[in-house]
Amino acid sequence: MRRLLRIAVLSAVGAMALSAEAAQDSALQTPQVPDENCLDAGTQATIPTSEPAPVLVDGLGYAGLEPDTPNDEARAWFAQGVKLVWAFDEAEAIRAFRQAQLVDPQCAMCFFGEAWARSPTINLQPRTEELAAARAAAQRATALAGRLGERDRLLVRGMAIRTAAGETFDNAAYAAFMEAAALRLPRDDTVAIIAASARMQVAEEMHPGSLTQRLIERVLARNPDHGGAIHFYIHLTDWIDRQHLAVPFAERLGRIAPGASHLVHMPSHSFYGVGRYRDAAVVNVAAIAVDRDYEQRVRPPRSEYRWALRRHNMHFAMNSALARGDGETALAVARQYREEYLSGEVTPPSRLLGSSTFYAAGLHGDPAELAGSPEPEHALDKAYRHYARGEAMARRSDAAAVRAEARAIAALREGTDAPSLGPYGTPLVEVLQLVLEGRAAMLAGDHGSAAAAYRKAMDRQLAANFGNDPPLFWYSVRRSLAAALLAGGDAEGARDQLFASLRRWPNDALALYALSLAERRIGNSASADRNLARARAGWVGDVTQVPLTRI
């Protein structure tokens, strides 16, 4: 199962499902809350004066939820809050809901919205620092809920359950309650999507055909422009390795919400999963631009989460571009990444994902510039630089120089700085070393040694489970193993490895090109022609000019 890069670790909590009958009985009852925690009926929201005022913006997508206020300004702020929740911009959503409360302090759903925006998501767990404020907002929504309709009272009741007395959010009870509410109101899109997202927050695993999948697909069948539904469907299909299911909806998401950078980015998960690497790169480059434009217009308060999402977009853009030989895009984004994430104090996640800036430099940058670059201080950066120099020397067919860079990485792994590589960096650096050993052996014509090195690298890559979001290492080393086998005369063995590689990395142009060579040697001319055509379509430049030593 493919899991997404997490900004925070998801909590895995077992849940007992509530029956629809139990939900019906409890949903219409006002939850009992301690009097001392209830907000006074005249309490109004305040926004710290140190923060810039929020701004109403266009292009955030679909809301699908209406507030209980006739005030047009409050309604506009509420709608923006809902759209921002669907777009995983919770900090700005909170500000929008609180602005709506300022305009109409009697709007129950405006307080519900704040509690909702402060609650955990599939990316942000456990958010206990938000619990007190979320609980206060949920209690205020409860106090004002008398005039709400059945659906909205269910939403308020669910939030009261989630924020009930305790030290943490009760996500399991909330998910069970919202699923029961969705079964009770099967035609309500908002309840269905909130229920699905609530279950995704507590489910350790998701499987094809789950209630969560059925709920989202029913909404999309009725309302294919529901940005929130598309967003969660992309995540879900990524988790269950069914990315192709979300592609038709992913293709429309950027048009639905052109001003929400995270929603502009989200289709790349589906595109990358089905091998549409060009499209994955394009939407991430667009998402980076949208995020910059949003910051310039809105001036949102500093958010580590927003900063991390843009880093994710850049990493995704670089690896997607590298997957199709698009050096121009990869290098351009790498420059941006270095300026924003690799200067000054560098965080561990930024350093790990920064490996792609070195991949881009080694595969497409100026070898002379790379050779003259200063020696980094951190062990990981040193290893990345050696790998990049090795790839650059492989482009020059200099086997001795490639081997020297591999030895330098080996010395790092054995030296005093090895512990600073970290739990993810340690296997990654081993893969870098072994790939360079394979490159050097291929250049020297020692195909057996190359295959052995690549096989070790492949095994280490698979064991490390770098994910596919995209992965920490930029390509499937299995295809290099196939290239070594093919160069050594084992076309059938190469074909088997390439089939396996393409199952995990579909439409990998270099794997398809190598497969066309293997099929031709075996005598399958028609298959060779088809795969060569697919390889040409997926690669920038002439794929047939890429030697086996660099596949």
Reported as a single tens digit per residue, the pLDDT across 189-248 is 999 999 999 999 999 889 999 999 999 999 999 999 999 999 999 999 999 999 999 999
- Domain presence at residue 256: no
Q: Which amino acid is at 433?
A: Q
- Are residues 85 and 71 located together in one domain of the fold? yes
Q: What is the mean pLDDT of residues 371-391?
A: 95
- Are residues 169 and 197 located together in one domain of the fold? yes
pLDDT digits (tens, 9 = 90+) for 250-309: 999 999 999 999 999 999 999 999 999 999 999 999 999 999 999 999 999 888 899 999
Say what the pLDDT of residue 417 is.
Answer: 86
DSSP assigned state of 118: T
Q: Cβ distance 256 to 17 under 8 Å?
A: no
Q: ∠ CA(236), CA(94), CA(46), 5° rounding?
A: 170
- Are residues 534 and 500 located together in one domain of the fold? yes
What pTM does this model have?
Answer: 0.90
Q: Cβ distance 273 to 2 under 8 Å?
A: yes
pLDDT band at 50 (very low <50, low <70, confident <90, very high): low
Cβ count within 10 A of residue 248: 12
Domain ends where: 209, 243, 277? Answer: 243
pLDDT digits (tens, 9 = 90+) for 154-196: 999 999 999 999 999 999 999 999 999 999 999 999 999 999 9
Instruction: Report d(CA 91, CA 385) in Å as an integer.
Output: 37
- Domain presence at residue 235: yes
Q: What is the mean pLDDT of residues 131-149?
A: 98
C-alpha atoms less than 13 angstroms from C-alpha of 166 in its C-beta half-sphere:
11
Using a pLDDT cut of 90, give the percent of the chain over it.
87
pLDDT at 10 over 90: no
> Could you tell me which residues come within 8 angstroms of residue 6 by beta carbon, excluding any fewer than 6 positions away?
123
pLDDT band at 39 (very low <50, low <70, confident <90, very high): very low
Q: What would you report as the CA-atom Rg of the chain, rounded to the nearest whole angstrom? A: 26
3-state helix, strand, coil in the chain (%, to 5): 70, 0, 30
Give the CATH number for residue 150. 1.25.40
- Are residues 394 and 494 located together in one domain of the fold? no
Using a pLDDT cut of 70, give the percent of the chain over it.
91
pLDDT band at 466 (very low <50, low <70, confident <90, very high): confident
Structural domains in the chain (count): 3
Say what the pLDDT of residue 51 is.
Answer: 72
| Mean of per-residue pLDDT scores for the chain | 91
- Are residues 468 and 484 located together in one domain of the fold? no
- Domain presence at residue 128: yes
Q: Which domain holds residue 441?
A: 342-474
**Structure tokens that stand for 75 in this block:** 């309604």
User: Pick the residue with more confidence: 371 or 19?
Assistant: 371
Cα dihedral 85/90/96/99 (nearest 10): 130
Say what the pLDDT of residue 15 is.
Answer: 28
Cβ count within 10 A of residue 375: 7
Instruction: Report d(CA 429, CA 413) in Å as an integer.
Output: 8
Identify whether 105 is preceded by a cis peptide bond (ω within 30 of 0). Answer: no
- Are residues 550 and 403 located together in one domain of the fold? no
Say what the pLDDT of residue 233 is.
Answer: 98
Nearest to 334 by CA among 349, 318, 319, 346: 318
Q: What is the mean pLDDT of residues 492-507?
A: 97
Say what the pLDDT of residue 303 is.
Answer: 83
- Domain presence at residue 13: no
Say what the pLDDT of residue 52 is.
Answer: 81
- Domain presence at residue 410: yes
- Domain presence at residue 255: no
pLDDT at 341 over 60: yes
pLDDT at 58 over 60: yes
- Are residues 440 and 518 located together in one domain of the fold? no
Q: How far is CA 182 from CA 25, 121, 381, in A?
A: 15, 19, 50
Domain ends where: 474, 504, 531? Answer: 474
DSSP assigned state of 544: G
Domain ends where: 436, 454, 474? Answer: 474
Q: How far is CA 544 from CA 349, 531, 549, in A?
A: 36, 12, 13
- Are residues 402 and 517 located together in one domain of the fold? no
Nearest to 17 by CA among 212, 301, 250: 212
- Are residues 469 and 484 located together in one domain of the fold? no
Q: How far is CA 179 from CA 116, 174, 176, 185, in A?
A: 16, 9, 5, 10
- Domain presence at residue 289: no
Instruction: Report d(CA 216, CA 226) in Å as an integer.
Output: 10
Say what the pLDDT of residue 468 is.
Answer: 64
Instruction: Report d(CA 237, CA 233) in Å as an integer.
Output: 6
- Are residues 381 and 470 located together in one domain of the fold? yes
Say what the pLDDT of residue 302 is.
Answer: 83
Say what the pLDDT of residue 204 is.
Answer: 83
Q: How far is CA 227 from CA 263, 387, 408, 417, in A?
A: 8, 41, 49, 46
Instruction: Report d(CA 446, CA 421) in Å as an integer.
Output: 31
pLDDT at 64 over 50: yes
- Are residues 414 and 501 located together in one domain of the fold? no
Q: Where are the beta strands (DSSP E) in 273-316?
A: none
- Are residues 465 and 490 located together in one domain of the fold? no
- Which stretch of 51-55, 63-67, 491-495 has the lowest confidence by average pLDDT? 51-55
pLDDT at 8 over 80: no
- Domain presence at residue 10: no
Q: What is the mean pLDDT of residues 106-121?
A: 98
